[in-house]
Structure 1
Amino acid sequence: MNEIFDRVLMAARKLGASDVHLKVGRPPIFRIRGQLRTLKDVPAMNSDVIETFAVNIMNQRQHAIFMENCEVDLAYGTEDGFRYRVNVFRQRGTTGMVMRIIPSTIPSFDRLNLPARVRELADEKRGLVLVTGITGSGKSTTLASLLEVVNVNHPAHVVTIEDPIEYMFEDKRAIVNQREVGFDTMGFRGALRSALRQDPDVILVGEMRDHETIKTVMLAAETGHLVFSTLHTVDATETIARIVQMFPHEEQIAVRLQLAAILRGIVSQRLLPRADGRGMIPAVEVLINTPRVQEMISDMHRTHEIVDAIKEGANPYGMVSFDQSLTNLVRRRLVAYEVALAASSNPADFELAFRGVTGGSGDDDVEFEL
């Protein structure tokens, strides 16, 4: 049974898909360059096939979680060395699955089309670095590339806490210990508290999901560690607001002061289809925590000014706003104007700069021989 799905996943990789959707009554559906595409001439999948595959790739604990919660996250590896982040869930009484394809090698930072200033965040000695964006915006890939910069260049002890482990690191100058929730630890909070007793230099927390995890992450950054993590927020201003709002009202002033002191930078991403059709490319907002930004984080009445600080912070700090990033991508002919306009933070202002630039579109279906 797994051989059928391995062929589906091989087809997805060859077509450059980022995700595979498996739903009863439909053939496999791939997300390619941000668009959902249906495989032509492939029969619909029935419930027995999908459910059997789902059960086969779960261990006993994951199956128990699925039976209790009707959903579970896990990682799946094929014999040819490829890995997938999997969510199995129930919908309308049947089992469904979405599988995120994890590249077999960690992409070098230079291949990601990210601002050079982002790479420098990996050279920080302590503090908090956040990578934010919606699901599928490339957060995990950016974090992996930054950790690989640490791995190659610094004799450090790196501890990662992930759910599940995605990219696999090989020790270079650094020692990298990767802990997977559900296999190596029971949860983010406990693993993070334990990590502080494991002589770490750098800690990666896959996601700051709750108040206690955020509190411990901030403590780790405050006590001399470099901490990387993610949030599902769209930009720097929302990220700061989300962190503060996770705390009781009476603690929020202190949290703002603490965050202003430990934050090193926020990288927010939106993935867009490339104009040449060769995959996706990130538009990136970069906030660097300068003394001016520290004041804006500390004062709730000035946090909205961060947007202007980013726009004005290119020199000498290397900051960039989303619209500045999009403008650069259009001028370099990497993203079509219409795509950039739809993704811009201020479409009216963005439109003024690019009147008359146009782009193209693609088909809904793709062909591949399984």
Structure 2
Amino acid sequence: MPEIKTNDLDAMLEYAVKMKATDIHLTVGSKPMLRLRSLLQPLESSQPMSQEDTREIAVACLDEEKLAVLKQNGVVDSSFSRNGLGRFRINIYKQRGTYAIAIRIQPFVIPKFDSLGLPPVIKNFARLKKGLVLITGVTGSGKSTTLASLIDLINEERQCHVITVEDPIEYLHKHKRSIVNQREIGMDAPSFSVALRSILREDPDVILIGEMRDMETVGIALTAAETGHLVFSTLHTVGAAKTVDRIIDNFPPNQQDQIRSQLATVLEGVVSQQLVPSADRSRLIPVTEVMVATPAVRNLIREGKPHMLNSIIQTGANEGMHSLDANLAELCFKGLIAKEEGLSRAQDKQYFQQLINKRW
């Protein structure tokens, strides 16, 4: 391929989309790097980035307000679109006195839920009328895509008002049977807490909170779910037990019993997910843990025993539940991912090995 100039962001974006990369990393002294099937690979047809290259790209991607934030805080999040290519989430940060840039590639078209390879039980969460549904996982695990597909399903099937609060907006939703209003932090509201304080006065049926970041955000999400709204949000946790712990730990000890009771009442499900390279390294495969809020699950949360949730999940197949390790073992058995990859990702390696031994 022809050489791509280090300050030609559009050419980099076009090539990255063509190669089905998920991310682009630009840093001084290194060639542009693409994340392909979870591995970083250099853009061989380019030269190492200079300080001027990253500064020029940063200035081109940000308006004056965002540039001021970058200069003051040393980091800023934003997003932008390119016709025919897609939408891009960008994080620009300072390192060693220069700018470094991470770009996440989002397609314009929201993937249909059935194309994602996720368990059908997750689709049921989109058909609830109220409650709290959490999609969890580390950065880059596909949480935003899962949520976007669920919101799109609601948009196609129901006549309701959906409000999203995101930082930044990743997927753009068109109005279908529902109306979908999307608020971006920094553009439409100064913070999550400010946006959420007024959200119940905006007559929503469904609320998407990009991330439950602090005590106030969690409290508003619980209250919204308790007052008859369907609330979706994310946490950077792995597994239902750790997710419950994280929510409770946001609050001081004298409030935790009340929050446990509230969470036990409103929680409808927790989905934890990862993206794992396929056995032939040709694509990424979603691996999930699903917990459905059965009466037994609610009791454990109310009694402050989240460490016992894993046992409920492992034996809850009739309710649509499964553990991350069980899903990993199933994908290994089908030959979709390598056993070594499954073992390295397993939460309980001994349990995973027992599942594998039963199959082979």
TM range, smaller chain:
over 0.9
CA shift for structure 1 position 277 = 2.8
8 Å CA contact 1:16–1:279 kept in 2: the answer is no
Provide, for residues 50-108 of structure 1, a one-character-per-residue CA deviation record: whole Å limited to 9, x for no partner: 10110111111111110100000000212335111100000011100000001121011
Aligned with 1:226 (options 201, 207, 230):
230
- Assess if the C-alpha contact under 8 Å between 1:2 and 1:53 holds in 2: no
Instruction: Give the 3 Å change call, closer, same or farther, for CA 35–9 of structure 1 in structure 2.
Output: same
Q: Say whether 1:328 aligns with 2:330.
A: yes
For structure 2, the 5+ residue unaligned runs are none
**Cα separation, 1, equivalents of 2:208 and 2:6:** 32
**Residue aligning to 2:82:** 78
> Equivalent residue for 2:51?
47
What's the counterpart of residue 366 of structure 1? none
Displacement of 1:38 after TM fit?
1.1
Matched, 1:294 2:284: no
Match of 1:175 among 175, 179, 201: 179
Instruction: Provide the secondary structure at the position in 2 that maps to 1:269.
Output: strand
Give the deviation of 1:345 after TM superposition.
Answer: 1.3
- Which of 21, 26, 33 aligns to 2:25? It is 21
2:251 is the counterpart of 1:251 = no
Cα deviation 1:30-55 (Å, max 9, x = unaligned): 11111111122421110101101101
Amino acid at match of 2:339: Y
> Aligned partners of 1:9 and 1:231: how far apart in 2?
29
Distance in 1 separating the partners of 2:107 and 2:283: 14
Q: 2:157–2:177: 8 Å Cα contact kept in structure 1?
A: yes
TM-align CA RMSD:
1.7
Structure with more contact order per residue of length (Cα contacts < 8 Å, sep ≥ 6): 1
Task: Provide runs of 4+ in structure 1 moved above 4 Å.
Answer: none
3-state SS, counterpart of residue 354 of structure 1: helix
State the one-letter code of the partner of 1:201. D
The question of 1:63 aligning with 2:45 is answered no
Q: Which residue of 2 aligns with 1:347?
A: 349
SS at match of 1:130: strand
Aligned match for 1:161, one of 156, 162, 165: 165
Aligned mates of 2:282, 2:159 — CA distance in 1: 36
1:15 is aligned with what amino acid? M
Structure 2 residue aligned with 1:106: 110
Question: Once the two structures are aligned, what percentage of the paired residues are identical?
Answer: 45
TM-score by length of 2: 0.96
Q: Residue type of the partner of 2:36?
A: I
Q: Say which of 289, 309, 314 aligns to 1:311.
A: 314
Query: Structure 2: how far apart are the matches of 1:253 and 1:314?
Result: 29
Question: In structure 1, how many angstroms separate the alpha carbons of the residues matched to 2:115 and 2:244?
Answer: 29
Matched letter for residue 125 of structure 1? K
- Does residue 215 of structure 1 match 2:219? yes
TM-score normalised over the length of structure 1: 0.93
